[in-house]
Amino acid sequence: MSFPADSVGLVTPQKFIFEEPLELECDRILPRFELMVETYGELNADKSNAILICHALSGHHHAAGYHHADDKKPGWWDACIGPGKAIDTSKFFVVALNNIGGCSGSTGPISPNPENDNRPYGPDFPLVTVRDWVKTQALLSDRLGIDVWYAVIGGSLGGMQALQWSVDYPDRLKKCV
């Protein structure tokens, strides 16, 4: 299949594993966690062109492009992310991730609970908040070596995450959209 000229094309999700404990606002601790991530475009030498995409409640990491050649449906924000689009991947390095608590590859209710014989957390998965999601996004930023985001962007619940970034990490983003 050939992809539209303004598509990021084929993309491969990456799983980032964090072995350090994550203290959550609900006073519970995840002993470790994983984040499913997709990136589009190229990070420049001084890492000043990075944009973080925060998804809405039912969203996930697959924001643009296609996972395989015969994929019929691109990522959920494909109309906005790609070469020449509003979030131009010929200029920006774009990062999209699935938040913890989601069911698309990041640690969530179907993940093994190391404190319960590695059976899935199920309904025992801790309550997570927007602040918890942003905390994990900041840890991902550190892992990627991105000290300051050019922009943090999101719609709906993703917009709440972008606003939380401006509250919790005001020196780590230039724009909140």
23-37 pLDDT per residue, tens: 999 999 999 999 999
What domains can you pick out in the chain, each with its CATH number?
14-172 (3.40.50.1820)
- Say what the pLDDT of residue 24 is: 98
Q: What percent of the chain has pLDDT over 90?
A: 95
The answer, yes or no, to whether residue 130 has pLDDT greater than 90, is yes
- Helix (H) or strand (E) holding 131, with range, is helix 130-144
Average pLDDT, the chain: 97
β-pairing verdict for 93-98 and 50-54: parallel
Q: What is the mean pLDDT of residues 16-23?
A: 98
- CB 79 within 8 Å of CB 8: no
- Say what the pLDDT of residue 1 is: 67
Phi/psi at 70 (nearest 5 deg)?
-100, 15
pTM: 0.97
Q: How far apart are CA 12 and CA 6, in angstroms?
A: 18
Q: What is the mean pLDDT of residues 100-121?
A: 95
Residue 29 token pair: 């601790």
| pLDDT band of 64, cuts 50, 70, 90 | very high
